[in-house]
Amino acid sequence: MDVDGDSSSKGEEEKRNAMVVILVGAPGSGKSTFCDHVMRVSTRPWVRICQDTIGNGKAGTKTQCLTSAAAALKDCKSVFIDRCNLDREQRADFVKLGNGQVDVHAVVLDLPAKLCISRSVKRVGHEGKLQGGKAAAVVNRMLQKKELPKLSEGFSRITFCQSESDVQAAVSTYRALGPQDTLPSGSFGGQKNPDAKVQLGIMKFLKKVDSPVNEVSKIDSLKDSVTNDVTKENDSSSMGQEDIRVIADEEVKRGEDLALGSLEGTSSLENIPTLAFPSISTADFQFDLQKAADIIVEKVLEFVTKHGNARLVLVDLSSGSKILSLVRAKAGEKNIDSGKFLTFVGDITRLYSEGGLRCNVIANAANWRLKPGGGGVNAAIFGAAGPSLETATMERAGSLAPGKSVAVPLPSTSPLFCREGVTHVIHVLGPNMNPKRPNFLNNDYIKGGEVLREAYSSLFEGFASIVRSQETLNKEPKEKIGSIHLEAPVDFKRSHMNQFSTADQKVKREGVYESEGNKKCKGFHEEQESKTTGAGDRSDDAENEKNNGSSSKDWGFWAQALYRIAINPEKSKSDVMEISDEIVVLNDAYPKAKRHILVLARYEGLDRLADVRKENLQLLRTMHDVGLKWAGKYLSEDNTLIFRLGYHSAPSMRQFHLHVISQDFDSRHMKNKKHWNSFTTAFFRDSEDVIEEINKFGQATIKDEYSLLKMELRCHRCRSAHPNIQRLKSHIGKCRFPFPPSLLQNGRLVVATDEDGTNQ
């Protein structure tokens, strides 16, 4: 008896966990493709009921659909009702299938009519034979009778999809459902007022309801604000077949096929910045799941309220994940928009290739050493990204404190970049409740909660910073005249500008930063007395590069200022601070800090770091010693300064030169991201490291200039992210955080010392 009772109870539970999902949408809205995308991945048993094929592969009746749906539910299977269901009457009988025991959902594919017409006209081999020219008229006619569903019809949940991103979010939600999972009740997504009559997509749409909405009263409250004569001037009856044909033809010409069938490749979806992240600290670090879920939802709600242009995805490998279930339920209670936050079951390193979910940033639940190894997410991400991730990580930080994160750009050679489209990995470290792991908190959940909140705040802010950076880059012109703003004297420009070739007037290179592009040096213009002279100089330069092993490069006229000073320093005596047979020292004309000088090599053929070889080691040591001497001079005048000596990986000014720059970066000439990143990322190669590399390998490692100069703005001390250079400069003026461990080694920083020789 007990066994039979358990079996009966289990059967009732499975029946309760089954659900009916009624798809609502015009032909061409993507209903069948929606079902296909969910059923291909979901671990839940689904049955698709389609009236176009219910009669042994041919069109059938509504009664046949109801019978088949009831039989599937009896077998404890969930059901998709794939019909148009555009009015309440058509939906009513299917809603009754729930019978108070089974949840009945509606997924409303309320996409623009123009798009539905385009899809319907273009498709071939449709199950219901609705394709070609006749499809446009059918879609037009059906949309005139459209009545959006309401919770009062008997639905426990309605998801409104008015864009491709809404559809993708809904697909992900239903894909992630395991056999025993449920979804929170209410209305979700970007819905319109369901009581308004909406005509063709080219007409005026009504005011949107705040989304998501859980109460029918919130929908009904908009009734008074909607006029009774909505879009009468554009009534669909006034549209003839010729108008419809023109709409379809335009769509075909544009080649827009944004059906769910092409979900995995649509640019509109790929352009949504998305962060995929695991639950922090709930695996190996054993943080309480209920408490962790509360914090996740709290911090997610803060993020989606503040950032409307990005999406968060909580990922777990297991379809039976308790943390996913808890977070889904709590997110539903908080009415978090499922288009901005969703949960997803899958391998975080294969979200796109295996799950069709494109995420350009993923988070790693890292260890404090920021090293590969262990198990779980950390091992998986380091393994999938390849050794380049460990190298890139070590360039950013040597370790990580609980509650902190560090964003690491992935090199384009990384498999995660190539295969999955992941551009950044954000390492984050949460609190630890495992006595066998470092930083054990001994079940102190007050402290642990604070650390976990800080961890998610740091993670999400790091993601937001990446999004802002990418948005800024997307707005920049593809080709521009660098950052060159050097203004020659007016009389000089008037008399000589017509003598310069276009190549001399414009240096068309991205990545030119002002600290080197804007050099005002006496004698700079004096050697350009005629067009012939200038051309001769360029020919000589090319020959020198060829003879001295320098990589071929077309240095523009303005980019040769340092070269001219190095070769003929006597013509710039008022600017030069020190001259020897090997070097020239001068102030950077546009300093990026309180103290910023350049030590120039006086050797032909040494244009940049890539040209330096082992035979130049003595020169490197001489330049380094001269730099240290000048740093010491400035430290004797102001012992609060801290200096760093180094080279740019790919300088914009010709002639090999060393930067000696104080780390306050207090200068009005520090104006933009390229300025900042050229001195605070791996693009800036420390002098000590360059000497060591060339001594061992015969040449220095050259970092990728383009990706590094375009990175997000981060404090060089605490690595916090900032939205713009003004906010960053305000922060660094007050930041007293210790420098990263990587800078405190190998003499990379030069500081004042006490009389006994110890650092102050």
CB 465 within 8 A of CB 407: yes
**What are the φ and ψ backbone dihedral angles of 316, each rounded to 5 degrees?**
-140, 150
Question: Which residue reads 């360029």 in tokens?
Answer: 538
Between CA 194 and CA 86 the distance in angstroms is 12
Residues near 492 by Cβ (< 8 Å), separated by ≥ 6? 525
The residue annotated as part of the active site, out of 657, 659, 716, 722, is 657
Q: How many CB atoms lie within 10 A of CB 272?
A: 19
Which is nearest to 521 in space by CA: 585, 480, 575, 580?
575
Question: Which residue reads 């308790």 in tokens?
Answer: 322
**What are the φ and ψ backbone dihedral angles of 17, each rounded to 5 degrees?**
-80, -10
Q: How many CB atoms lie within 10 A of CB 305?
A: 11
Between CA 476 and CA 470 the distance in angstroms is 10
DSSP 610: G
CB 461 within 8 A of CB 455: no
3-state DSSP call for residue 65? Answer: helix
CB 590 within 8 A of CB 620: no
CB 162 within 8 A of CB 110: yes
Residue 306, Ramachandran bin (φ over 0: left; ψ between -120 and 50: alpha; else beta): alpha
Residues near 544 by Cβ (< 8 Å), separated by ≥ 6? 550, 604, 605
Let me know if 496 is a catalytic residue.
Answer: no
Between CA 424 and CA 408 the distance in angstroms is 6
**Torsion angle of C-alpha atoms 217, 172, 469, 641, degrees rounded to 10:** 100
3-state DSSP call for residue 121? Answer: helix
CB 680 within 8 A of CB 749: no
Between CA 698 and CA 691 the distance in angstroms is 10
| Assigned token pair, 724 | 């713009």
- Whole-Å CA distances, 108 to 105, 149, 163, 455: 10, 8, 11, 37
CB 249 within 8 A of CB 119: no
Which is nearest to 663 in space by CA: 548, 749, 535?
749
Which is nearest to 39 in space by CA: 55, 50, 53?
50
Between CA 338 and CA 328 the distance in angstroms is 10
- Whole-Å CA distances, 586 to 568, 658, 660, 665: 13, 11, 10, 18
Between CA 745 and CA 344 the distance in angstroms is 42
157, β-bridge pairs = 105, 186
Catalytic residues: 657
